[in-house]
Every structure is written in C-alpha cells, then in structure tokens.
Structure 1
Amino acid sequence: MKIRFQCHPVAAASTLLVASLCFQPPALAQTAPADVTADTPALASIVVKTKREHRVSKGATHLPMEIKDTPQSISTLDRETLRDFGVTDSNDALEWGTGLVVDRWETNRTSYSSRGFDVMLTQIDGLGMSNDWGLVVGQQDTYLFEKIELVRGANGLLTGVGNASGTINYVRKRPTNKDGGEALLTLGSHNQQRVALDYNKVLTQDGKWAGRLVVVNEDKDSHLRALNDRRTAIYGVVEGQIGLDGVLTIGMTHQDNKQRSPMWGSLTLPYADGTLADFDVSASTAQDWTRWNTRSQSAFVEYTHMLSPEWEAKLTYNHAEGRENTRLFYAYTATGHLNGDNTGLIGWPYRGESRSSSDILDLSLTGRLHAFGRQHETIFGLSHSKQD
C-alpha cells in the first residue's frame, strides 16, 4: 500500500486540502516449478485481445485517429489537468476549454457557445442527441470521466446534421488491465466536503474480464446566501472478451444533484435615475424553501467485434432517464428598475416536476480500404434516437 498526500492548486479565493490514498496490489505472477529444465517445451502464451491499454477516442470523426491526425480543432481536458486545478464539476471544467464560452444563467442553468453559436450537442462516449433548448440544467461530476473533448466547428461528421459551434464529448472511465485505485478526501472553502473512490479490478485470472467502480459524494456551500449543493454519483462498468474476436461492455451511472436555495433569474440592479445598486457579493433572491433537484440514471451496452484485422463492427445501446423537481422564486420589477430604497420587486413562486427518457441505438462499421495506391479509413453507420 502506498500513501501520498497532495495539495492541488486552486484559485486564490479558495483553499483546498486533499488526502489521497492509492491502492496498488502487487501484480500476480506465475512462477515456474522447480523441476522445469531447459529442455521442457515452452507453453504457448495466451493473449487477451482487448484494447484496454491503448484506447483511442473517436469523438471527432468516429474513426480511430489520433488528435494530431484529425482535420478538426479539438481540445482535451484530461483527468490529470482537472485534478491539478481542483475542478470537480463540468461547468468549471469547461471554462478551462479553449474556444468555449460558459454562460451561467443562474446557479443551476448554463449554456455553452463556440465560434458565435450555441453548442447544442453534448455527447457521452460519442453518443448523444441535440438539445433544442440549448440550456443545460445541473452539472456532471468530472470524476466519472477519463477526459472531456471539445470539438470546435461543424459537427456533421458526428450526427449528420449540426451547427457551426461544436460538440462536447465526455469520455467515460473504462476498466484497465491492473488492479488498483484511489480514494480522495477533499476539504475546501465554503465548507466543501468531498469523498471520491475509483477502483479497478481484474475479475478473471486470464484477464479477459475486468470491472471498475467510481463513487463520489460532495457537499458544498457558496458565497451566495444559503446556496448549498449536494451531489452523489455512482458509476460501474464491466468489460470482457467474448470468444476470440468480441468485446462486451456494460455500464450504469446514477447521479443525484440537490441544490438548496437556488437563484431563478438574476438581481435587479438599475435605479430609475440610471445608477446601479451596490449589493453585497452574497446577495440572492432565493428563499429558504426553494430547491432545484435533478436526478439521472443511464445504462449502456456496447459490443465490438473484429471481423478481420482491418474491419471492426460495433453496436451500442444507451438508455437514460432524468427527473427534475423544483420549487423556485422569481423576483422582477414591472418597470425594469428598483425604487430608491431598494423596493419595487414582485415575487413569483413556482413549483414543477418533469421527467425525460431517451434511447439511442448506434451501429457502425469501420475499417481500411486500399484503392488508388492509398489506404483509406472508412466508416459506415446507422443511428436511431428517441427522446420523451
């Protein structure tokens, strides 16, 4: 067992203390019996045909191309970068992305834009559906992902249709070929308390099957009055070899976000004479009884089959469900400005519940063609998606 303590740099306005425990069990090795001689014929080695050690993301073109070979502008936020800067939620992470603008409407709604257009497509492992509203409610916990890819420019190669902004692709963590993991304890500013666990286990002696479990729980206040965020996320994935040429992956994710005293709308700042109000940095229109809770569950099954050394077929099915429960309070003025004594606001309470479900089925065939004296990377695909 190896124990290490790390302090990760964060913004000057906050403090962060992280205790990190990394568990790395010794690798199992086979030793030859003492009576084996030099004349004993060597046994044929068994090679597990998986891609765990050399995964290549296909977020930009769905082809197994390195970023430097992809004819599109891509930025990658890997987990090491996110850890070094103490970034735990998706909005903070995306603010580090090149060429992406994160516009926070209030405390729980966000929109993204790139190259002057709203980003309407957010994917996980290259699969997703366009968001017609452009608004994203709640946040993803970055600890669930290996990296976040920002593909800038038209995303027609990903979806068949799209706009000129780009695509955000979250790449999930997957099983590896080694046992081990880490446990993180984070104490930070605004009463932040965070516990995270990431553990990988090779499930069979021959290494064909492996699983990974990621668990996160965070509780944090804010500089805004009464605002509190609680987030719990659990992700489990199992991957294994089927026959000689197939790889099956099954995973599930559950995330529960609870926000107390959220803002809905912004502060009214101007007075009738054109001057602006000077509120304290903690000012908020939220009431103690307000809340903005979001819960999501998703499951996916992915099967990849090597048809030949140069051709691969892949079938993926993803099902997701979401639920939103809100009690909100909106404060506004009929005139567009405050009275001189900071009165004149009108209150509008609101309560709502919503549910959503989506299904995505994706079939692709990738491989190489040799024609006209050149090698061509080729993909054929069919996708079907439905959302309620």
Structure 2
Amino acid sequence: MALHRPAVFTPPPRHRQHVIARRTTMACAVAGVTVALACNVQAQAPEATVASPGLPPVHVNAGHKNANTEGTASYTTNSMNTASKLALPIRDTPQSVSVITRQRMDDQGMTNLNDVVKYTPGLILQKYGSERQRFFARGFQIDNIMYDGLPTSISTYTQDVISSADTAMYDRVEIVRGATGLMQGAGNPAAAINLVRKRPAMTPQLSLSGSLGSWDNYRAEVDASNRLNASGSLRGRGVAAYQDKGSFQDKVFKKQSVLYGMLEADLTSSTTLSVGASIQNDRNRADWGGLPTARNGNDLHLPRATFLSNDWAKWNKQNTFLFGELEQRFDNGWKLRLTANRVLANLDLLGTYLTPAGSSGFAQNHGGFRYTDDQNSLDIYATGPFQLLGRQHELVVGASDRREKFNGTGDFGSNGTLVNVHDWNSSLVPPPALNYANWHSASDAKQQGAYASARFNLSNPLKLILGTRLDRYDFSSQSVSRGISNSSGYKITQHLTRYAGLMYDLNDTYAVYASYTDIFKPQGLRDRNDKILKPIVGSNKEIGIKGQYFDGTLNASLALFQINQNNRAKRMDLTVCPNPLKPCFEASGEVESVGLDMEVSGALTANWQMQAGYTYVDARYRQDAVGSNIGALFEPATPAHLLKLSASYRLPANLERWRIGGSVSAQSDTYKVNGSGANSIHVKQGAYTLFDLMLSYQMTANAELRLNINNLFDKRYYQNLGSNSFANVYGDPRNILLTAKWSM
C-alpha cells in the first residue's frame, strides 16, 4: 500500500504540492505473530505550504526538532529528553519510549492521567476504588510521576492524596519504560511518566471547548496565550477547566476545577525565566474500596451500578503546584538550566469498605483520614557540545535535591452493620463519630544526587551514551495507632547508579541498540538484628531496533528486555526473630521480569495517524521465603499480553472535513491470590478486548465537533482485582462524549 508522509499545513494558501518519492519497506515480528508492513512509501517533501478550505491549521515541520506537539496534529514528536536529559529523537534513545501527544489526548477525550495510562502502550491502569489508582509497567508498580522532568513520589499514602493530573495543562506525556534511575534516583524499574506542561505562545492563541456525555458528564475548558508586550519578551498562558461528572455507579460523582498559569520572560537575549502555578480541586463522592466476590473468589455478578458505601462518603483533594525555570544560553552551544517544583497536596477522606462476616455475609468498616503531603524538587544542570579526538560529543552534568514531608491523621473501625450486597440502601447508616487522634503517621524523606551523562560520537554510525548518578537518601517516620507507637529511620550515605546505551545506525532509517541501567530502591524493613535491610538493587537490560521514517513523523521500535531485582525483603520465620510478635526480614529475595516491547507511532499517510503497541511481560519470583512462590508470577493481576492500538483517518476529497478513528485495547487473563495454602482463593478476570470509536467533523477552520463512543460493545470486565471482599472494580460500561471546540 502507498503511504504518503504528512504534508506541511499552514492556512490559508492553496498552492499545489510538489513531492519527491522514495520507497521504504518495514517488517516487524512479534512473539511468533508476524506483523508485516511491506510498504511502497512515497514520502512527500513539500516545496510550498498548503491547506484546504475549512480545515484547521496544522503546523508540522519535519525538519524542526522542537518537541512540542500542540498544533502538529501528530501522534509522535521529534525529540524527547526524559531518558537522559539529552534532547534526542525517539530513534536515538536507547530505551523503549512512548509519547502521548496533545492530538491523541484530544482525539480520545483523555481528561486526566488515568486516561493517558489506560491508552499508553505497555502501561497498565488499576483502580482499587473510584479515586484510588496504581500504574504498572513491565511487572512493577510505577512509584514516581515527573512534571517537566522533576519527579514526585507516589508511595502508599501519597498515591491517595496526589490527584490524577488534569490534562488541560499539558502539551504531551513522555514515557520511558524500564528503569530510569539516572533521572529519578530511587524507584521501581517500571517506567518514568513525564507530564510536560504547555508553554506561552508568541502569537495570539485561544481555544474554548465544551463536552457533555454519559452519566451527566459536563466539562468546559478555556486556554489563552499571547505576548504581553510589543517585543514579545514577556509572554503568558492561562488555562481553566471545570468538570461535573456522574458515574455508572449509583451515588458516585466528581466535581473538578483546574486553574493553570505561566509567565515566560526573556531577561536578556540569552536568558529566559519561566514561573507558574496550578491548582486542582477534586470534590468526590467515592467508595473507599470496591465490590466483593463470593468467599471462594467467584463472581457475584453484581450490577455495575452497585454502590456499597454511604451518602456521606467523600474523597476530596486539593493539589497546588508552584514551579519555575531559569535558562541561560551561551554562544558555544551550551546552556545552564535551573528548575524547581513544589507540590502542596491535601486529602479529606471518609469512606467504607467490606470485610467478611458470618458464613457468607459482609460487614462494613469505616475510616476517616486527613493527609497533607509537601514535596519539593530542585534540579540544576548544564548541557552542551564538546570536542574530543576530532569529533563533537554532548554532555550533561547536574545535581538534584528532593524532599517530601507527609503527615496524616485519622480514625477507623467497624459500625457493625451487615450489608446485603444485592439490596443496599446507602442512606441507611449515619456518619461515624471519629477521633482523628487515634491514628497518626508522619514521614520525612530526603534525596540528594549528582549525575552526568555523555553521548559520544564514536563514528558516523556508532553512538555511545554513558551516565552515572550518585545519591544520598535519608528517611524517617513515626506512627501511632490506637496508642501503639512505632518509629523508624535509615540513611544511605551513597549509592552509585550506572547507565550505558549503545546505538548503531544500520542506515538512515534503522538503528540497533543495547542499554543497561542499574536499579536502586531503599526499603525500610529490619532484619533479626534490628538493622535496616540493604536497598533493592538490580539491573535493567534491553536490546532492540528502531526505525524513523519521513524525517521523524513516523517512528517504530522492537525491543527485548530483562529486569532483575535483588535484595527484595523475605520474611523470616518468627522463631528466629528477637520478638516473636514482630516480624523480621532478610534481603535475599529476587524477581526477574523478561519480555518484548514493540510500538509504531506517527503518520502512516498524510491523513492517517496511528499509535500501536504490543507488550509481553513475564515477571516471576526467583528467590522468596515462601517456597511455593519461587517460579510463580510476581504480579498475576497484571496481564502478560497487552495490545493497544489507536488511529485517526481524515477522509479524502469532498469528505476531508470528516475524520474517523478509534482504538482497540486487548489483554490476557489475570488473577489475584488471597490467602495461602489450602485456604487460598483465586479471583479471576478473563482475557478481554475493548473497542472505542471517534468521529470528528471540522465545521470551519476554527471549529470542530467530535463524538467519542467508548467500550463500544459494552464489555463487562474488572479493571482491578482485589480480595474476595475489597477493591474489585468494574471498568466503565459503554459511554459517549460529545465535544465542541473553537480555536484560533
């Protein structure tokens, strides 16, 4: 089939286009299933810019290496720097990467980070309550979220207080799968998710949009940007969004408001200062847990609308971000950048979950908690070219500081109410009387690091990236529960993380690569001598091939990976612990994750955008205190096989105002084991496939009407598996969203 590289569009000239043709053939083989793209590719190199009457401006310049995706109509980007802070094309990054562009977010109605993760190749979204979510990749939980390259911790408690970010503020989301310790320091070898904010524009820019959809879903957005003085040395941008949304679950709703602003000033011709802030308020009625299964793990076939909490349930959050950036550019191509980010988050939670009662019934437990979380990130680095042995290379040298203070109070208990899961009145139980002094938890974490990475141009086809990071980590915590107090703390004075990536250009289109990354994650458990366990360490190894077509408007990759985590805590027999009532551990556990990762993203033709990815992951215990675990799956609630495909196509000729698109998401079966031995039960979710549709009509060059139909065939499935009484959460039934957008 003939594939045409996207033309470069800017309105409103109507010149004819001259093209230069070339041919390229692509072939990808994945896990025994061959996906062949034998393509007669005619790449278009336009001599003049064009636009059709009534179509919106599309500012695509394949030769321009600006990573911003807004206004490009593309499903890929020219460069990203989340992996190493080196601004490199996707093809030249020696790890598996994805980018969710502004166009993809708009086409599929992605309004928050949960939506982004749901549609990103290789990532898994689990929801164990209406407002509780976890993200996974390659068999491990993602425990850091980055904002403009600065990481924010997502730990046991903070994942409840940090909101799923509203996408109205962001230009794109960059994802690097696997270990990313060079940029983040401590963390699981899952993935780095980097949300890149929209920035002020030099020319007037305004968009207004409104949406309405199933379950009384109403949303409005306004986004404005322009220069603020005649010279354009001062620029500003403001974004506001409000959403009032019901749910397929009875009684559940969300009211969310977002305000975002950024100022950008050219202090001199070579110095730019950017400062900004955002605030996101979430007011929700949401359940704490999910739905139960039968005691043996079988599905109770409860209606998806079932709500087993109470009218007074709430899950309210407020997240405030303050951020700034100072960049100094030098005549020799070097630049110095200082960035800072502060997160002030709080949570007010009152909810319930079920526990088994009697032979087959359930009782309601309640809890009320108030959390505050204060995180600060500071990073300074210099980057630029240098000469060595007659060749030009690139270098990054920097240092970072991260601090997090968490404080939580609360109370919990059981009201003794037995719940009929098939006939429940959410107005039945009065709000509990709570003493928030009954439970208290506070922690203080500090991490300082220095890092360096260099890209050596060894020869015209061969590039070597070497990186290293030295970290210091300090953690302390105190907790009180019903009068019983506990405290812990530990320090890691220095830990070295290494990174290496080698890329070899086979030709102008294809490159093969190999990369290695160290793993580092402190753990606060103690051994039988009351000493803190060594950190979890290990390695992330990856080999692959990448292709870049049409000057970067289409990217493809195929990779094999192996991740080994060592020193994982193994619980010891209580008989060898000093206190038989207090467990102790040893650092001898190991988990290995191996698999395959492939992706194609960007423009197949001038009118056809696509992002498709397939991932196979096999993560298993290699060493564990429980003998039956050895060889068993590490996270059986995450699928081994994951396929995600999204596309949009602009119809030709007289139908060019119309675009059609959709997505397919398929995964293999999963299960969750609760209990052990003869008393263990399995909660199961069979393999399933979801289909979404999108239809867009360009009413004028400035106005678009879009219809999204999600879960087209109304597939009934669990988005998360919990226990037989807790955190089994249905995925959304079929729903529609109609969006009107006007922009200039």
Question: What TM-score bracket applies, with the shorter chain setting the length?
Answer: 0.7 to 0.9
Q: Is the 8 A contact 1:120 1:134 kept in 2?
A: no
- Residue 267 of structure 1 corresponds to which residue in structure 2? 291
Residue 114 of structure 1: how far off its partner (Å): 0.7
Q: How is 1:153-164 mapped onto 2 (pairs within 5 angstroms)?
A: 153-164=178-189
Residue 307 of structure 1: how far off its partner (Å): 2.7
Aligned length: 334
Q: Is the 8 A contact 1:117 1:165 kept in 2?
A: yes
Q: Is the 8 A contact 1:367 1:377 kept in 2?
A: yes
- Residue 260 of structure 2 corresponds to which residue in structure 1? 235
Whether 2:83 is the aligned partner of 1:91: answer no
CA distance in 2, matches of 1:275, 1:172: 44
Could you tell me which runs of 5 or more consecutive residues in structure 2 were left unpaired when the two chains were aligned.
1-10, 12-55, 58-65, 70-77, 406-744
Whether 2:235 is the aligned partner of 1:210: answer yes
After the TM superposition, which of the residue ranges 231-240 and 148-157 deviates more from structure 2? 148-157
Whether 2:261 is the aligned partner of 1:244: answer no
* Secondary structure in 1 matching 2:301: coil
CA distance in 2, matches of 1:331, 1:203: 56
CA distance in 1, matches of 2:125, 2:67: 33
Q: How is 1:168-183 mapped onto 2 (pairs within 5 angstroms)?
A: 168-183=193-208
- Residue 32 of structure 1 corresponds to which residue in structure 2? none
Distance 1:291 1:141, change over 3 A: same
Q: How is 1:210-359 mapped onto 2 (pairs within 5 angstroms)?
A: 210-260=235-285, 262-271=286-295, 276-334=299-357, 338=360, 344-359=361-376
State which of 60, 79, 85 in structure 2 corresponds to 1:62.
Answer: 85
Distance 1:53 1:286, change over 3 A: closer
CA distances 1:37-86 after superposition (whole Å, capped 9, x unpaired): xxxxxxxxxxxxxx898995422211122222211211011111111111
AA at the equivalent of 1:268: P
Residue 116 of structure 1: how far off its partner (Å): 1.0
Q: Is the 8 A contact 1:53 1:177 kept in 2?
A: no
* Secondary structure in 2 matching 1:94: helix
* Secondary structure in 2 matching 1:81: helix
* Secondary structure in 1 matching 2:330: strand
CA distance in 2, matches of 1:364, 1:249: 16
Whether 2:217 is the aligned partner of 1:192: answer yes
Please, what TM-score do these two structures have when normalized by structure 2?
0.43
Whether 2:123 is the aligned partner of 1:100: answer yes
* Secondary structure in 2 matching 1:95: helix
CA distance in 1, matches of 2:362, 2:354: 6
- Residue 397 of structure 2 corresponds to which residue in structure 1? 380
* Secondary structure in 2 matching 1:82: helix
Residue 92 of structure 1: how far off its partner (Å): 1.4
CA distance in 2, matches of 1:155, 1:248: 28
CA distance in 1, matches of 2:216, 2:230: 44
CA distances 1:102-140 after superposition (whole Å, capped 9, x unpaired): 111111111111111111121000001333339733311
Residue 275 of structure 1: how far off its partner (Å): 5.3
CA distance in 1, matches of 2:67, 2:247: 39
CA distance in 1, matches of 2:298, 2:388: 70
Could you tell me which runs of 5 or more consecutive residues in structure 1 were left unpaired when the two chains were aligned.
3-22, 25-50, 339-343
Q: CA RMSD for the aligned pairs?
A: 2.4
CA distance in 1, matches of 2:290, 2:225: 44
AA at the equivalent of 1:149: E
* Secondary structure in 2 matching 1:133: coil
Whether 2:153 is the aligned partner of 1:130: answer yes
CA distance in 2, matches of 1:162, 1:278: 38
Q: Is the 8 A contact 1:295 1:323 kept in 2?
A: yes
Whether 2:104 is the aligned partner of 1:81: answer yes
Q: Is the 8 A contact 1:111 1:135 kept in 2?
A: no
CA distance in 1, matches of 2:80, 2:230: 28
Residue 379 of structure 1: how far off its partner (Å): 0.4
CA distances 1:326-355 after superposition (whole Å, capped 9, x unpaired): 1111122146x73xxxxx211112111111
* Secondary structure in 2 matching 1:308: coil
AA at the equivalent of 1:221: G
After the TM superposition, which of the residue ranges 129-138 and 227-236 deviates more from structure 2? 129-138
Please, what TM-score do these two structures have when normalized by structure 1?
0.81
Normalized per residue, the structure richer in strand is 2
CA distance in 2, matches of 1:125, 1:371: 31
CA distances 1:127-178 after superposition (whole Å, capped 9, x unpaired): 0133333973331111110011111011022124443211110000001111
CA distance in 2, matches of 1:86, 1:292: 24
Identity %: 28
After the TM superposition, which of the residue ranges 136-145 and 194-203 deviates more from structure 2? 136-145
* Secondary structure in 2 matching 1:333: strand
CA distance in 2, matches of 1:201, 1:276: 55
CA distance in 2, matches of 1:291, 1:87: 24
Distance 1:141 1:313, change over 3 A: same
Residue 271 of structure 1: how far off its partner (Å): 5.0
Q: Is the 8 A contact 1:119 1:134 kept in 2?
A: no
* Secondary structure in 2 matching 1:128: strand
CA distance in 2, matches of 1:120, 1:53: 26
AA at the equivalent of 1:257: D
